[in-house]
Structure 1
Amino acid sequence: MTISILTRLTSGAALGALIGLAPALAAANSATTAIRYGVTLAGLPIGTANLSINLSEGGPYKINAAAKVGGVISLISDGRGSASASGKLGSAAPVPSSYALNSIAGKKPQTVQMALSAGNITAIDLQPDLPPRKDRVPVTAADKHGVLDPLSAMLVPVAGNGDALEPAACKRTLPVFDGATRFDIKLSYARTEQVDGKGYSGPTIVCSARYVPIAGHRPNRDQTKFMESNRDIELWLAPIKGTHVLAPFKIIVGTQIGRLTLNATRFGGSGGGDD
């Protein structure tokens, strides 16, 4: 369950060394940043996560991510995963072109590969496929249009030349398709919080988030019902240096066994040193 939340809501954000970035992205006005997270559940450390982002405003972006969950949670469940996504940054949202996920939880591997064009899924391979269930809401062709992959959904471009850290940054709905399920993450402004971390110290915009299942889910499952009514989900957004793009400094998700928190232990730099 825990690794599922990490890969679905944080796109498998990071384990160990980061994958090399595409040379084509080293353009003018580009930014490269590394984000490292500590992961806790009910206050206990259970894993680590890393995110590597290379982007050019109005141009291409590449994200590599991975996560590892273990520690005390390994008595219940453990897992690891890596993911990548690429596309082009629009003024208000990413426009992804590819997404891939490799994860394993409880010795059960899963892979997802997707190709996208203009927000529409053009090809998909999910291994293994979801088992058939009579109560599962079917994913239709329409559910694969106008979507973001889970990793691209972590980038929040803010239009204009003013301050990116405005409450309006939270005024959006993220239409996510993860290869198996289609859901919305509806954001709204909650407050502004100061953070003091390695690589970034300053204000963050805190967005309350609501999980809204659309398709591929089983409505009567306890976990689905819990997440639908969950009011304990927050995204703390901080700016990627030199851009009008925000990324999560902190992610909080209430779960049935305690609060899951990803908190940045480093936000910024290329990941190659102590910058």
Structure 2
Amino acid sequence: MTLPRSMAASVRTAGGVSFALFAAMLAMTGPAAAQGKLEAHYDVTLSGILVGTGVWAVDILDDQYSTTANGGATGLLKAFAHGTGTGASQGRVVNGALVPANYTATISSSKKSETIRMSLVGGNVKDFVIEPTPPVDAKRIPVTDAHKRGVVDPMSAPLLHVPGTADPLGPEACHATTGVFDGRMRYDLRLDFKRMEMVKSEKGYHGPAVVCAIYFSPIAGYVPDRLAIKYLAAQRNMEIWLAPIAGTRVLVPYRLTIPTPLGTGKLESTQFITSAIPPKTAAKAQ
């Protein structure tokens, strides 16, 4: 199957944006509550056509957490872009807060493969490396040391804690803004409450989800003239649907929708299997 070059580029951009936002959104880490785990499977569609799939796993214990994800192109997108991606992050739970320590991501296509490794201490980037080293682009806005402070990595990012004792599935879940550094680009993400919805996956979770609007603001590490960046920054119709990890006050993405030039891009869970971890089981796992 072949597509016009401009259309192929748009579909690649849509697929890349979906994977990136899945990995990066939403970067609102905070105090954790109790212990729980999640295994979720996702489909990525463009105008209703399947273009990718992914799997995401999260484990939250008393003093540590980990999250991993992998995904790849399929169907239409795989016909001309054989892409896969994996990511992982680990950290500690310190005084109830999720504190990222290590992050790794690898993006591969038929033409190249790139790996990003990053370490963080107390919300600040200690060091990072991109392999192979990317060429210098004079048009790219430089990332300064200040840009690498008070940030989270993209794989810790989707763990959204809701403080307090009330039901975490409500408007308060969407009152958050944070900074993300993915090894190349520094950007801010802001949420606003929109509404409540009911969801039902093919396997696993069936219940309410809180729907938040997403606003993307690039800060540094990007080329201002890139159409994909301009497009995302101008969007006012992106949405994230959040569902809970059992046994915790942590919410994670169940559905993500992004308008694109070729129609709506959507990442949606088909399996959302979550369970609380009993304290004794958690102790043995440690």
Q: For 1:105-126, what per-residue CA distance to the aligned partner results, in whole angstroms no more than 9, with x for missing partners?
A: 3422110000001110101011
Among 44, 65, 82, the residue aligned to 2:49: 44
Cα RMSD over matched residues? 2.2
Change (3 A) 1:125 1:116: same
Change (3 A) 1:227 1:177: same
Change (3 A) 1:90 1:170: farther
Q: For residues 261 and 241 of structure 1, what CA distance do their matches in structure 2 show?
A: 24
Q: For residues 215 and 199 of structure 1, what CA distance do their matches in structure 2 show?
A: 39
Change (3 A) 1:129 1:215: farther
Shift in Å at residue 203 of structure 1? 1.0
- 2:147 is aligned to 143
Question: Structure 1: which 5+ residue stretches go unaligned?
Answer: 14-27, 271-275
- 2:17 is aligned to 5
Change (3 A) 1:219 1:6: same
Among 247, 250, 255, the residue aligned to 2:252: 247
Specify which structure has the bigger relative contact order, considering alpha-carbon pairs within 8 angstroms and separated by 6 or more residues.
Answer: 2
- 2:282 is aligned to none
- 1:173 is aligned to 177
Q: How does 1:222-237 map to 2 (within 5 A)?
A: 222-237=227-242
Q: For 1:59-115, what per-residue CA distance to the aligned partner results, in whole angstroms no more than 9, with x for missing partners?
A: 311001100112111244331011100113478963211100011134221100000
With normalisation by structure 2, the TM-score equals 0.83
Identity across the alignment (%):
36
Question: Does residue 64 in structure 1 map to residue 48 in structure 2?
Answer: no
Counting matched residue pairs gives 255
With normalisation by structure 1, the TM-score equals 0.86
Q: For 1:143-186, what per-residue CA distance to the aligned partner results, in whole angstroms no more than 9, with x for missing partners?
A: 11111111111000111222111211111113111100001111
- Aligned to 2:138, the other structure's residue is in SS state coil
- 1:191 is aligned to 195
- 1:24 is aligned to none
Q: Tell me the amino acid that sits aligned with residue 169 of structure 2.
A: L
Question: Does residue 162 in structure 1 map to residue 166 in structure 2?
Answer: yes
Q: Is the 8 A contact 1:120 1:144 kept in 2?
A: yes
Q: How does 1:108-119 map to 2 (within 5 A)?
A: 108-119=112-123
